[in-house]
Amino acid sequence: MTQDRIATTMAGPGENLVARSAEHYRLVRAASLALIDGLDPEDLCPQSMPDASPGKWHLAHTTWFFETMLLEPLLGQAAIRPGWSFLYNSYYEAFGSRHPRPQRGLLTRPSLADVLAYRQEIDARVLDWLADIELTETGREHPHRDRDSRGHAALAVLELGLQHEQQHQELLVTDLKHLLSINPLIRSGHLPGWRRQPGNAGGARANDRAVERHPTHWLEFPDAGPVTVGAGESGFAFDNERPQHTVWLHPFAIADRPVSTAEFLAFIDAGGYRSPDWWLSDGWAQVCQQHWQAPLYWQHQDGGWWRFGVDGPHPLDPDAPVSHLSFYEADAYARFVGARLPTEAEWEYACRAG
């Protein structure tokens, strides 16, 4: 009897899907705000270069996405800030003209407070919709099949928006780090980062995984041949991850661990940035034009190497995986050690093979 009662009160597949979507929405949106914890409004308005965007812009653009792609066309809700589409559209041609990307850092208004209020309003609308929606299992015959079809389509857009926001969380951190890194106060040691790593009392980053101190072993794939790459039809994937297709892989071998910081320092010490021998021609042009001597965020001072991260400047950890390399630097290092970079298909095949 108890089992029957429990069975009749359990949520159906559609209700579970909606509940998971609502929880995912809350978590992702809260994560964006957590990233700016400890920053001032002045940190979130400037733009360090044309390829970067202000933190405030990221917070507004991801919210504009939910309003423009979900609430307006699929749920029939009017825009809260109609004029903001010009400011916070990124590259979606179907939604009209937009503010030039290199000038995003000139927008002192709307203020950060306005943008955060906008986020709250859109969040309330999305969560109200999720609280009211009723769905049954996809594809099942029932009287409300058309309604469910629209509901599932809207949830798919919601998921796309959340994946999109997580992309912008990465961009927000990247852009803010670059902005703080060009502040002259770094040289005096008076410019800390804004995100302390757990347990980091003043040295190496706690979440850097040390590279095992052993010679590189090569994982051999002698019989790759025709392999399938790309995402299947089930689950979320971006359009550039589909369709699945077959590619031909020749035999190859891939290193069993990342390159360490110490190993890349050996490339620098051997004159890697002073010789064109290891570089692609356009990469060497970048080295010469921009006077590269080390990866971005690396500084040689006080007799040692330092790097700037989201947790501020710290001495380089020789056992940490090397980071902040451009494609050209990674390619040059691979040539220096008599190897090459893996192709996308080789990477995917090796990862799936375990």
The stretch 159-176 carries a mean pLDDT of 97
On whether both 172 and 226 belong to a single domain, the answer is no
On whether both 155 and 226 belong to a single domain, the answer is no
Q: pLDDT: is 10 or 174 the higher one?
A: 174
State residue 315's pLDDT score.
93
Count of all residues that appear for the chain in the document? 354
The stretch 140-148 carries a mean pLDDT of 50
On whether both 229 and 311 belong to a single domain, the answer is yes
State residue 196's pLDDT score.
54
**Residue 206 resides in a domain:** no
- Residues 48-76: tens digit of each pLDDT: 999 999 999 999 999 999 999 999 998 99
Among residues 87, 107, 105, which one has the least CA distance to residue 97?
87
Q: What is the pTM of this model?
A: 0.85
- Residues 279-292: tens digit of each pLDDT: 999 999 999 999 99
**Residue 196 resides in a domain:** no
**Residue 226 resides in a domain:** yes
On whether both 119 and 184 belong to a single domain, the answer is yes
On whether both 138 and 230 belong to a single domain, the answer is no
Instruction: State the chain's mean pLDDT as an integer.
Output: 87
Q: pLDDT: is 145 or 30 the higher one?
A: 30
State residue 151's pLDDT score.
87
Q: What gap in Å lies between CA 233 and CA 132, rounded to an integer?
A: 29
- Residue 141 vs residues 12, 149, 234, 257: alpha-carbon distances, Å: 15, 11, 21, 51
**Residue 200 resides in a domain:** no
Q: What gap in Å lies between CA 352 and CA 229, rounded to an integer?
A: 10
On whether both 160 and 255 belong to a single domain, the answer is no
State residue 1's pLDDT score.
34
The boundaries of the domain holding residue 233 are: 218-353
Q: Place 342 in a pLDDT band, splitting at 50, 70 and 90.
A: very high
On whether both 232 and 153 belong to a single domain, the answer is no
Helix, strand, coil shares of the chain as percentages rounded to 5? 50, 10, 40
**Residue 203 resides in a domain:** no
On whether both 226 and 183 belong to a single domain, the answer is no
- Residues 111-133: tens digit of each pLDDT: 999 999 999 999 999 999 999 98
- Residues 311-341: tens digit of each pLDDT: 888 899 999 999 999 999 999 999 999 999 9
**Residue 208 resides in a domain:** no
On whether both 178 and 111 belong to a single domain, the answer is yes
Residue whose token pair is 């992309």: 167
Task: Domain count for the chain, please give it.
Answer: 2
On whether both 297 and 179 belong to a single domain, the answer is no
Q: What gap in Å lies between CA 67 and CA 326, rounded to an integer?
A: 35
On whether both 329 and 284 belong to a single domain, the answer is yes
With beta carbons less than 8 A apart as the criterion, state whether 217 and 227 touch.
no
Q: What angle do CA 192, 188, 306 make, to 5 degrees?
A: 70
The stretch 12-18 carries a mean pLDDT of 72
With beta carbons less than 8 A apart as the criterion, state whether 207 and 309 touch.
no
Q: What angle do CA 44, 126, 33 make, to 5 degrees?
A: 25
State residue 302's pLDDT score.
83
Q: Is the pLDDT reported for residue 207 higher than 50?
A: no
Phi, psi at residue 31, to the nearest 5°?
A: -65, -35
**Residue 35 resides in a domain:** yes
Q: What is the CATH number of the domain that holds 333?
A: 3.90.1580.10
**Residue 212 resides in a domain:** no
The tokens describing 126, both together, are 């999305």
Q: Place 11 in a pLDDT band, splitting at 50, 70 and 90.
A: very low
Q: What is the CATH number of the domain that holds 47?
A: 1.20.120.450
On whether both 15 and 129 belong to a single domain, the answer is yes
139 sits in the region (left: phi over 0; alpha: psi -120 to 50; else beta) called left
